[in-house]
Each structure stands twice: as C-alpha cells, then as structure tokens.
C-alpha cells in the first residue's frame, strides 16, 4: 500500500509517462522537418507541381505531429512547478533561463513560420516559403539545444555553486552552465537520433507506397532522400554515441556501472546481451569480450573501473543505496539501444544500396516491408536511450558529477512538491492516461488518413509562383 | 543593481502576461464563442482559419511567461504551480486538447464533433481559470514557512472574489474573441453579424465586472498597495474603462472593427498593468492566517547574475519575437475569404 501513497514515486511515474509520450512525437517532427525542408528546396528548384504536392503532404503529417508535440510539451514546462516545486526552488537560478530562452528563441520561430507553411503557399513568395520550411526545422533544432542544455546541466552541473544556506544552486558563470561538460556529446547524440527517426519514418511511408504500387514517383524520390539522410546520420552516430559513452565514463561513474551491471570494481567487459541478477549482484551473459568496454572508453583493455558497492562508500555517492538501484532496467535499456543501432545501420545500408543502384528496391518486396517496419528500431532506441540517461542518474535528479561543483546535487526524493497529495496525483495520472490515449488514437487516425490520401497534385498548380 | 533588476523583472513578467492575455486572449475567446456564433461547418472553419496561422505563436507567450517566472522568481513559480495543482492541470489539459483539435479536426471528419468539443472546452477552461488564478495570487493564499500552499486543493481556491476575477477574465477574453471574429469574418456574413451582436454586450459585462472587482479589491488589499504607484493605478484604471468605451463607440458608430479590436486590446493591457501596480512588489499574497510570508521580489528573486543573463536573453529575443509577429500578422491580414478555406 505504501507505493500507492508515495508522492515521489507517483511524481516520477507521471513525469516518465508524460515525457516518454512527448518524446514519441518530438523526434518525428524534428526528423520529418528536415525531410520536409529538403523536399521544399527540391520544389523551389524544379517548380514541378508534384514536388509541391510532396511538400504539402509532409506539411500535413508534420503539423499533426508538431501539434501533439507542442501540446504535450506544455506539460513538461509546467511539471517542474506543479510536481517538482522543491526542485524548482533548488535550481531556479540556473534552470529557468534555458526554458525561457527556448520559448523566446525557438518556439516563436517554429510556430510563426509553421503558420506560413500551413496557410501561406499562395500568400508569400516561393523563396520565403522555402526559407520558412528551413526556419521551422532550425527552430526545432534550437529548441532541442536549449532543453538539452537544461537536461545536461542536471547530469553534469557546472557554472554554479551552493548558496550559503545550502538550499539553492546559484549561477556563477552562464557560459559554463550552458556549455556544461556533457552538452556537446548529448546534443549531437540526441539530435542525430531524431534525424535517423525522421529518415526511417519517411522510408516507411515510401516503402508502403511501393508495396501498394501507388505514387511510384513520389515513393522513389522519398526513399532516396530518406536513404541519404539515413546513412549520413547513422554513420555520424558512431562518433556521437562514442563521445556520449566516454562522457558518461568520465562524469557519471554510477550510471556507467549500472549500464554494465558492475557491482564491484573490475575491468569492464563488453556484453552484447545479458541479465542482471540484482540479488546476487552478478551479470549472467552467454559471452563477453574481456575489457571491451574499457577499450571503447579509454583505448586499452586494462583500465579498472569502480563498481557500485565501492562508489557507495565514497562521500560523493554515499546517498546511494545499492540494493534499491534499478540496475537491471538501466542495463537492459542500454543494451537494447545498442542492439537497435545494429538494425538501424543494417537497414540504412540496404536501403541506400538498393535505392540508388538502378532503383532495385522497387521490385524487392522484402526490403519494402523492412522499410515499413524500420521506424520501430530508432523508436525503441530513442526511448531506451532516454531511460538509460534518466534512470541511470538515479537516485539523484541533479547528479553529483565528477567535475561538478561541490554540493550542487539533489536527490530525486527531495525534489517533490510538498503541497501535492497522492490523491491529486492519482487523479492527474488517470487523466493523463485517458487524454493521451485519445490523442494517440486521434493522431493515428489523422496521419493514417493523410498517408492513405497520399500527395495530391493540384490541377492548375503548374503556373503558380512563377 | 539587484534592486533595479528585481523591479525590472517584476514588470517584465507582467508584460509577458499582458502579451499572452492580449494575443491568446482572442484565440481563447474565439474557441469559447465558436459553438454559439458558428452555425455550420463552413462558419466553424472560418473561425478556426481566423486564428489558424497565429494561435500557436500566441500561446508561446504563456510558455515564455512561465519560463521567465521560473528563472526570475523560482519561489513564486514553485508555489503557484504546485499550490494550484489541479487548477493548473485543468488549464493544461485545456491547452493540450485545444492545440490538437485544430490540426486533427480538419483531417478527421468522423471525429469532427469530438475535436469541436475539445476546441470549445479547451478554450473555456483556460479562459475561466486564468482569472481565478490571478484572483488567488492577488487576494492571497495560506502558505507554510517554505511557501508551500496549505489550503484545500482546488476548492480552497474558489472564493467569491476569485470567481469574480475569473468571470472578469472570461468576459474580457470573450469580448476580444468577438472583436477578432468581427474583424476577420467576411464583411456581409451572418457570422460577422452574430459576432458584432455579442461584442458590445460582452464589453458592457466586462466593464461592470471590472468596477465590481476593483471595489472588492480595494476593500481586500487596498491598504497594502504601494502608495508611490497610486497615480499609475488611477491612470491604468481610467485606461481600462476608456479602452472598453472607445471599443464600443468605434465598433458601434464607425463600424471600424480594427480600431475596436485595438481599443479592446489596449484595455486588456491596461488591466494587467493595473494588476501589476496594485500588487507590486508582491508576487503571491499570503492570507492573514498564513504562516509563511507573502512572496515578493525581495525574498523570491534569483541572483543578480541570473537576472542579468535573463535581461540579455530578453533583449535579444524580444525584438525577434516582435518581428515574427509583424511578419505573420501582415502576411495574413484582411478578412477570410472563401478561397482561403480551400487550403
């Protein structure tokens, strides 16, 4: 029964649920935003009505996705105050500025120029329309930057100090706080993943049309754009993912130990799959490359790394209770993410080869099916990646990172709103599940309809804009 | 410097709120009025189209105000958002379903009724509850020593005074919505005639509620108001009334919808300015039985460096935002025509 009245746990569940849901749609809209902008640039050059139809098709899907992303994003901004009042008091001096900057610099840009995309085809010049498409995408990448600055600061605090009373983190240097030790690795890693998501979503649409034998020209063009974006972003991911892993190695030892299931200090091996037995504190895996993780992080096979039990003895991580840590969840999330990357790379290579060499994909039904199913891989990778990042820093909400200023850390359990009861949380949790479920069904219906309709070439659109 | 920045940010927060109330105010008004003035699908489409390109940008003012409050006065943000938990959540759910109802309604004929209902409810909830929230921070809430709200959830926030402020907010939003509808709908349409028929009565109701709320407010916290600002308060009170009266006159006698809408908006700005001058330097008032003190710019402000950074961010951002608004409102100026609906 205790769990039913645990405000901290319920608040975490609500935040996890709403942020995971929000992060279904944001990756799609940022990823598809690029596909849309590329399409519109093609139209700007060609002025062919079918290219205009392609842009319009993507604008419709983008807008439906963007709308739900915006709507569920408001939840996130409000939730710091509604459910994490003590967190807000602790970090307000630093954390609020990026949120305000995100709204000022990014949200206004995105929303205003999306208005142009939606309603302005006949009202603005073709050039202005194309620039608007790029500005919407640029705005969404900028918004990702600000929110990841905020999130990365919670992972690796910098440019701050604890106030004299020990109740608040106070900013000492804006640039150090904004460009904290993990921001570059985490920003590139995240945004690149979103581009993969967009490319694979476009692949799926193109693959579906190929299977149905419809919109052949559009399907082939889309498949090629998606193949190029897909392969470039998937290859770049090797660099970005590696940088992120090295950053965790250097800054967040407890997270790294959870990712690899290391309870005791060891030279970390590399597992492809495995199970963490939290009782006996062991990893059960069919095979392992000895020192593999050590090699990936440091370049040699012999670097020893502290385990959770050792880390719990230190002053820095002393607040951690090893038995309560969700090691299995973090281990599995991390390894599923890596496995998904294997599938992503494989799909990207196959689609690239067969989209360009004589467009053979048009006759390969199995590859068309693979393209239709392909968004599942980045989708699962993105969700499990975030679980790794967010659950991996528990039990802290502001993590006591290796290079972080002394004392600037906060336990998740100390971050809640004292004035919110578990009853209120149950009410809002139920409402979130209900409303978000209806939104999801509504989104599937609308986007499904748009895809069924396909791009519609307007009669008389040939002369337009010339 | 610290004193200056705190005072500056107090008024900047209210400036952002004024921006939100003026711009998203007419969106909320349109949404709430929609079932009453639009009688068929085409008329509903015209109303949606009238705010289609702009509503999203308008709503960002709320996010900016929320983020700025978090950054500049974290304690005020924490206390109000957690203290008004269920009310904030109702506003939030309203904003969520309203946002998607726009895009989903147009693309899903079978679920059109559901999304139309969402458009209405999603507009009504914020339109009513925002005023209730303002009434509460104005009249005061019970807090503990840290500043956490200790009253009854949701129902503790509803008093005769806060109900009146909620209704004042609602009527001002509805009047703005009717003004916007009159401005954007086709000139000789029945839709415009219905909007105009509602515009003046709503302005009269706003005026009456404003007078009642003002007197009530003077009795409630009149003695605590900053004496230095009394001249400004009188000025803004006069401007609220003048804005509404001018809106009525130019709307009725000159049939000038743009001027009427602008006067209506000016009245809304004056109302928020009056609120700011009446509350200064308090952000959240405490009731007499409250253990914790009122939350003011002196006990809730962020550090000097944080406020300075925010000031620089705003100096760069605000001109850009205003430029975007000029672009979008100019691009989509004029009345909606049948051709616009084909998009």
Query: DSSP characters for B280-326?
Result: TTEEE-B-TT-SSPPEEHHHH---HHHHHHHHHHHHHHHHHHHHHHH
Q: What pLDDT does residue A159 have?
A: 94
Report CB contact under 8 Å: B320, A104. yes
Report CB contact under 8 Å: B59, A111. yes
Is 60 exceeded by the pLDDT of residue A464?
Answer: no
Total count of residues recorded for chain A:
466
Confidence bin at A200 (pLDDT 50/70/90): very high
Spans of all domains in chain B? 2-342
pLDDT > 90 fraction of chain A, expressed in percent and rounded: 82
Spans of all domains in chain A? 1-181+412-466, 239-402
Which tops the pLDDT comparison, A286 or B8? B8
Is residue A329 a contact partner of residue A388, using CB atoms and an 8 Å limit? no
Could you give the CA distance from residue A68 to residue A85 in angstroms, rounded to a whole number? 26
DSSP state of B84: T
Could you give the CA distance from residue B180 to residue B172 in angstroms, rounded to a whole number? 12
A281 touches B: beta carbon within 8 Å: no
A417 touches B: beta carbon within 8 Å: yes
CA A96 to chain CA mean position, Å = 21
CA A148 to chain CA mean position, Å = 10
Q: How many CB pairs under 8 A join A and B?
A: 246
Round the average pLDDT of chain A to a whole number and report it. 92
The minimum CA-CA distance between A371 and chain B, rounded to whole Å, is 26
Confidence bin at A462 (pLDDT 50/70/90): very low
* Residue in B with minimal Cα distance to A114: B53
The whole-number average pLDDT for the span A425-452 is 95
ipTM of this predicted structure: 0.91
Report CB contact under 8 Å: B63, A74. yes
Give the closest of B71, B86, B340 to A424, CB-based: B86
Report CB contact under 8 Å: B309, A75. no
Output the 3-class SS for A21-80. HHHHHHHHHHHHHHHHHHHHHHHHHHCCHHHHHHHHHHHHHHHHHHHHHHHHHHHHHHHH
Pairing of strands A282-284, A275-277: antiparallel
pLDDT in tens, A83-99: 999 999 999 999 989 99
Could you give the CA distance from residue A148 to residue A190 in angstroms, rounded to a whole number? 9
The whole-number average pLDDT for the span A368-377 is 95
Q: What pLDDT does residue B103 have?
A: 83
CA A263 to chain CA mean position, Å = 28
Could you give the CA distance from residue A145 to residue B45 in angstroms, rounded to a whole number? 36
Could you give the CA distance from residue B29 to residue B120 in angstroms, rounded to a whole number? 9
DSSP state of B40: S
Q: Which of A83, A79, A77 is nearest to A8 (CA)?
A: A83
The minimum CA-CA distance between A97 and chain B, rounded to whole Å, is 5
The whole-number average pLDDT for the span A252-275 is 92
Q: What pLDDT does residue A1 have?
A: 59
Is residue A228 a contact partner of residue A349, using CB atoms and an 8 Å limit? no
Could you give the CA distance from residue A79 to residue A102 in angstroms, rounded to a whole number? 16
Could you give the CA distance from residue B9 to residue A325 in angstroms, rounded to a whole number? 42
Give the closest of A97, A417, A439 to B71, CB-based: A97
Collect the ranges in chain B with pLDDT lower than 70: 342-343
Give the closest of B85, B104, B114 to A420, CB-based: B85
- Tell me the CA distances in angstroms from B180 to A7, A112, B261, B343, one per residue in order: 44, 19, 6, 21
Contacts of A434 (CB under 8 A, 6+ apart): none
Beta bridge partners of B286: B141
What's the CA dihedral at A274, A277, A278, A283 to 10 degrees?
-50
Report CB contact under 8 Å: A417, B82. yes
Query: What's the token pair of residue A41?
Result: 């640039």
B74 touches A: beta carbon within 8 Å: yes
Q: CATH 1.20.1630.10: does it fit domain B2-342?
A: yes
Could you give the CA distance from residue A228 to residue A235 in angstroms, rounded to a whole number? 11
Confidence bin at A461 (pLDDT 50/70/90): very low
Q: What pLDDT does residue B343 have?
A: 55
Contacts of B342 (CB under 8 A, 6+ apart): none
């Amino acid at each position: 029964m205790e769990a039913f009245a645990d405000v901290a746990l319920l608040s975490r569940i609500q935040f996890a649920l709403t942020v995971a849901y929000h992060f279904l749609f944001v990756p799609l809209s940022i990823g598809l935003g690029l596909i849309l902008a590329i399409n519109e640039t093609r139209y700007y050059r060609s002025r062919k009505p079918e290219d205009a139809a392609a842009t319009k098709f993507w604008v419709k899907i983008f807008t439906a996705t963007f709308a739900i992303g915006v709507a569920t994003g408001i939840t996130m901004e409000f939730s710091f105050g509604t459910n994490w009042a003590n967190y807000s008091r602790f970090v307000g001096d630093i954390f609020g500025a990026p949120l305000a900057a995100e709204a000022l610099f990014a949200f206004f840009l995105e929303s205003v120029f999306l208005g142009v995309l939606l309603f302005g085809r006949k009202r603005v010049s073709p050039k202005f329309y194309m620039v608007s498409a790029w500005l919407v995408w640029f705005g969404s990448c900028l918004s990702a930057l600000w929110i990841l600055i905020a999130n990365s600061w919670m992972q690796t605090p910098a440019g701050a100090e604890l106030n004299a009373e020990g109740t608040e983190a106070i900013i000492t240097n804006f640039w150090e706080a904004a460009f904290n030790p993990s921001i570059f690795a985490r920003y590139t890693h995240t945004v690149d993943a979103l581009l993969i998501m967009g490319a694979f979503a476009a692949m799926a649409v193109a693959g579906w049309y190929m299977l149905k034998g419809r919109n052949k020209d559009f399907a082939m063009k889309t498949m090629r754009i998606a193949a190029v974006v897909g392969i470039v972003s998937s290859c770049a991911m090797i660099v970005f993912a590696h940088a992120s892993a090295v950053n965790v190695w250097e800054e967040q030892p407890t997270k790294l130990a959870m990712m690899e299931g290391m309870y005791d200090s060891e030279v970390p091996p590399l597992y492809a799959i495995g199970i963490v037995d939290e009782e006996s504190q062991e990893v059960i895996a069919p095979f392992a490359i000895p020192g593999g993780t050590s090699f990936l992080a440091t370049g040699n096979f012999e670097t020893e790394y502290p385990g959770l039990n050792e880390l719990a003895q230190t002053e820095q991580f002393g607040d951690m209770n090893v038995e309560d840590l969700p090691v299995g969840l973090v281990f599995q999330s991390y390894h599923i993410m890596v496995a998904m990357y294997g599938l992503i790379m494989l799909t990207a290579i196959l689609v690239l080869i067969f989209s360009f060499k004589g467009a053979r994909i048009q006759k390969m039904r199995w590859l068309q099916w693979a393209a239709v199913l392909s968004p599942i891989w980045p989708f699962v990778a993105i969700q499990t990646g975030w679980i790794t990042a967010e659950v991996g820093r528990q039990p802290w909400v502001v993590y006591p990172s290796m290079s972080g200023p002394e004392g600037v850390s906060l336990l998740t359990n100390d971050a809640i709103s004292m004035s919110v009861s578990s009853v209120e949380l149950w009410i809002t949790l139920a409402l979130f599940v209900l409303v978000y479920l209806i939104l999801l069904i509504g989104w599937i219906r609308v986007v499904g309809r748009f895809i069924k309709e396909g791009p519609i070439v307007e009669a008389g659109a040939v002369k337009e804009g010339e | 410097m610290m004193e200056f920045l705190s005072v500056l940010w107090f008024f900047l927060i209210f400036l952002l709120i004024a921006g939100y109330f003026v711009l998203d105010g007419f969106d909320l008004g349109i949404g709430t009025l929609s079932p009453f003035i639009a009688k068929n699908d085409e008329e509903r489409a015209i109303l949606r189209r009238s705010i289609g390109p702009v509503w999203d940008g308008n709503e960002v003012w709320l996010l900016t105000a929320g983020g700025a409050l978090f950054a500049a006065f974290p304690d005020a943000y924490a206390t109000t958002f957690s203290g008004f938990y269920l009310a904030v959540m109702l506003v939030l759910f309203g904003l969520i379903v309203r946002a998607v109802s726009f895009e989903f309604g147009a693309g899903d004929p079978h679920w059109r009724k559901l999304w139309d209902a969402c458009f209405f409810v999603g507009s009504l909830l914020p339109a009513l509850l925002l005023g209730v929230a303002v009434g509460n921070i104005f009249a005061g809430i019970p807090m503990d020593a840290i500043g956490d709200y200790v009253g009854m959830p949701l129902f503790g926030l509803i008093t005769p005074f806060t109900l009146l402020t909620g209704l004042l907010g609602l009527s001002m939003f509805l009047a703005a919505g009717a003004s916007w509808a009159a401005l954007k709908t086709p000139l000789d349409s029945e839709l415009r005639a219905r909007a105009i028929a509602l515009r003046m009565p709503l302005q009269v109701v706003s005026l009456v509620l404003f007078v009642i709320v003002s007197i009530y407010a003077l009795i409630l916290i009149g003695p605590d108001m900053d004496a230095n600002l009394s001249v400004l308060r009188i000025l803004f009170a006069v401007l609220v009334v003048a804005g509404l009266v001018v809106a009525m006159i130019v709307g009725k006698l000159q049939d000038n919808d743009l001027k009427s809408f602008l006067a209506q908006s000016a009245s809304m700005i004056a109302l928020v300015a009056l609120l700011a001058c009446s509350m200064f330097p308090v952000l959240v008032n405490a009731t007499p039985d409250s253990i914790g003190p009122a939350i003011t710019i002196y006990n809730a402000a962020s550090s000097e460096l944080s406020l300075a950074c925010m000031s620089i961010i705003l100096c760069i951002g605000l001109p850009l935002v205003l430029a975007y608004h000029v672009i979008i409102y100019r691009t989509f100026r004029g009345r909606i025509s049948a051709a616009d609906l084909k998009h």
